Amino acid sequence: MKRSFEKPRVTDACSVTRRWFLRECGVGLAGIAASSLLAHERPAVTGPVRRPHFAPKAKSVIYLFHAGAPSHLELFDPKPELARHDGRLPPPELLRGYRAAFINPNSALLGPKYKFVRHGRSGIEISELLPHTGSIVDDLCFIRSMHTDAVNHAPAQIMMNTGSQQFGRPSFGSWTLYGLGSETQDLPGYVVLNSAKGTSGGASNYGHGFLSTAFGGVPFRSSGDPILYLSNPSGIDARAQRDSLDTLNRLNQQAHNVIGDPEIAARIQAYEMAYRLQTSAPELMDLGHEQRSTLDLYGIRDVNESSYARNCLLARRLVERGVRFVQLFHEAWDQHGDLTRAIRANCDQTDRASAALIKDLKRRGLLEDTIVIWGGEFCRTPMVQGGNDGRDHHNRCFTMWLTGGGLKKGHVHGTTDEFGFNIADDPVHVHDLHATLLHLLGLDHERLTFRFQGRDYRLTDVHGNVVRDILY
């Protein structure tokens, strides 16, 4: 059969790329194979909702990422035995083969700095520092047996968010958007909000990796334009902007027709999204129309003041408008010293708003199909650092909580030993958590793959098991 092809509609011979040549000039089986390989390298840009692998329990995610490693021993995992051994050296058998990030592992044990209180019908114990979280404890699923591979902040944050300690992998949010698409055309499908300090892992925590840029997280600023240069410059009216954008899109489309580069399609989409954001983003960021009772629930006094509480309310508004994945980064928990004062301050800043988000989603009927995740990259040692008021990094066990569609409520999964040092039963690795969250979204983690550099990649790499015990 004679193969027809169209010459590139350009006059510059240098514009005839290798990709175009292989796609258009290949003949026979070799040409078919080359075209097939190129097609696998070309991800579709984010667009309409895609069909999941099976019926999902949830359709959106809010990830409250508390970077810096919140101490499970002060917040979520009561250890009365550790309190009784305060100031003593740990048992030698406990430290066999153990390497701490900074301290001598033989440092004395440090008892919990705060008391634990039972809450709700479930009677789950959490810290006295978290009274608002205590009020929603019957809606939460606690995993006290999380563990990870990394022992320092940047690689551990990147692993928690991408499934790998290495830079360059797509984030959990990007994989979600790649697998399911977006339900909104007026806002990005993946939005990032920051409070406190910037994260050690930086933009890699929400990057698109080798997927199209259309799947990456879009950081929103907390004041002014949510995205830089969103407003028209002086002298440019709406008509001039639309005409300019139409011309630019035609040029980009011509280049895309010739080259077939998916980044050109992503660029076209980004320009159109920015145009729509000029209307949708200011409306989203304006909290002035929220009821005073709602603002009080979150603890927001000034609707224009940047804060973790404001970001929590924005997260609700984003999922309400169809955004698939919202991620809040709050890095403030790295207490190598000054633990007693600093962790109280952290809880004062975040406890009320975290609980308010769950209550707000629930009363609006949004919690049924939204997953909310609270946790950091690892936790803190039972041994002391910084004199008598700090803890080092600890990756062997830590706690996260989750709630929303498909998750058990008022439930605790996994236990740690009497010192909160090792997992006693039901361990959950980062890969297992990712597999489970994708499962709740209707995605099989073994089937959600993308071919890059000659192999199929996935969020869980070659690992991960769905944790059935936390699902109803």
139/204 Cα distance (integer angstroms): 31
Angle at 334 between CA 60 and CA 337, to 5 degrees: 155
Is residue 313 classed exposed, middle or buried when 0-12, 13-18 and 19+ CB atoms within 10 A define those classes? buried
pLDDT at residue 315, as a whole number: 97
**Each residue of 252-286: pLDDT tens digit?**
888 888 888 878 887 777 777 776 777 788 889 99
Is residue 301 classed exposed, middle or buried when 0-12, 13-18 and 19+ CB atoms within 10 A define those classes? exposed
pLDDT at residue 2, as a whole number: 41
346/133 Cα distance (integer angstroms): 13
R_g of the chain, CA atoms, integer Å:
25
**Residue 317 in tokens:** 């508004």
In DSSP notation, 209-274 reads: TTS-GGGS-EEEPSSSSSSTT-SPPTT--HHHHHHHHHHHHHHHHHHHHHH--HHHHHHHHHHHHH
CATH, domain 47-470, list 3.30.450, 3.40.50, 3.40.720, 3.10.450: 3.40.720
Domain boundaries, the chain: 1-40, 47-470
What's this model's pTM, rounded to 2 decimal places? 0.86
Residue listed under structure tokens 């194979």 = 33
Angle at 404 between CA 399 and CA 408, to 5 degrees: 65
Of 329, 326, 308, which is closest to residue 199 (Cα–Cα)? 329
pLDDT in tens, the chain (472 residues): 444 434 444 444 444 555 544 444 444 443 333 333 333 333 444 555 789 999 999 999 999 999 999 999 999 999 999 999 999 999 999 998 898 899 998 899 999 999 999 999 999 999 999 999 999 999 999 999 999 999 999 999 999 999 999 999 999 999 999 999 999 989 999 999 999 988 999 999 999 999 998 899 999 987 667 877 667 777 777 787 777 878 888 888 888 888 888 788 877 777 777 767 777 888 899 999 999 999 999 999 999 999 999 999 999 999 999 999 999 999 999 999 999 999 999 999 999 999 999 999 999 999 999 999 999 999 999 999 988 899 999 999 999 999 999 999 999 999 999 999 999 999 999 999 999 999 999 999 999 999 999 999 999 999 999 999 999 9
pLDDT at residue 222, as a whole number: 74
